[in-house]
Amino acid sequence: MPPKLLRWVAEKLDFQTAVDLVDKGVRPGDEVAGILRTLTGQHQEWMAERLLEHGMPVEPDNYDALYACVSNQAPGAAKLLLDRGIDLEQYQLWAEHRPKGEGTRKPWRSWPHIGLNRETAPSRRIRPWAV
């Protein structure tokens, strides 16, 4: 099945079909950041979290996926991504060098509001209980 199918289903907020696709092994590939951006942008963080919990694959260097969660104030989904191996320091470096026009504010400025703190984060990555 094409990766865009999962994004299309998520955009329709069809939770059961999205979970079924993830459970059947549909891999979103490059669409995962768009899926998370869509869901968290529509205040459906719970759905993003459930898809991640059901095993929606996210590569550990997919900083766009983490950025989508952080910029849309979705702490639960962001913490799940960090728990699954996205490196916080590498994400910060990536965010510092984003081209202008792709979200120019420092994404960690909003972290205290969502339970993440750059200064108190462990050197490799943040754990959900270390806020």
Model confidence, pTM: 0.75
Mean pLDDT over residues 81-99, rounded?
A: 90
Q: Give residue 29's pLDDT band: very low, low, confident or very high (50, 70, 90).
A: confident
Give residues with Cβ within 8 angstroms of 92, minimum separation 6: 108, 118
The two structure tokens encoding residue 76: 């639960």
Task: Give the pLDDT of residue 104.
Answer: 40
Using alpha carbons, list the distances in angstroms from residue 104 to 10, 71, 82, 98, 100: 27, 11, 22, 7, 6
Mean pLDDT over residues 82-89, rounded?
A: 93
Q: Tell which wins on pLDDT, 107 or 31.
A: 31
User: E strands within 59-100?
Assistant: none
Task: Give the pLDDT of residue 9.
Answer: 94
Whether the pLDDT of residue 30 is over 70: the answer is: yes
Mean pLDDT over residues 39-52, rounded?
A: 96
Q: Please compute, for residue 63, the number of CA atoms within 13 A of its CA located in the half-sphere on the CB side.
A: 16
Mean pLDDT over residues 6-15, rounded?
A: 93
Mean pLDDT over residues 10-21, rounded?
A: 94
* Phi/psi at 57 (5° precision): -70, 135
Whether the pLDDT of residue 28 is over 50: the answer is: yes
State how far the Cα of 130 lies from the Cα of 128, in Å rounded to an integer: 6
Give residues with Cβ within 8 angstroms of 73, minimum separation 6: 40, 110, 113, 114
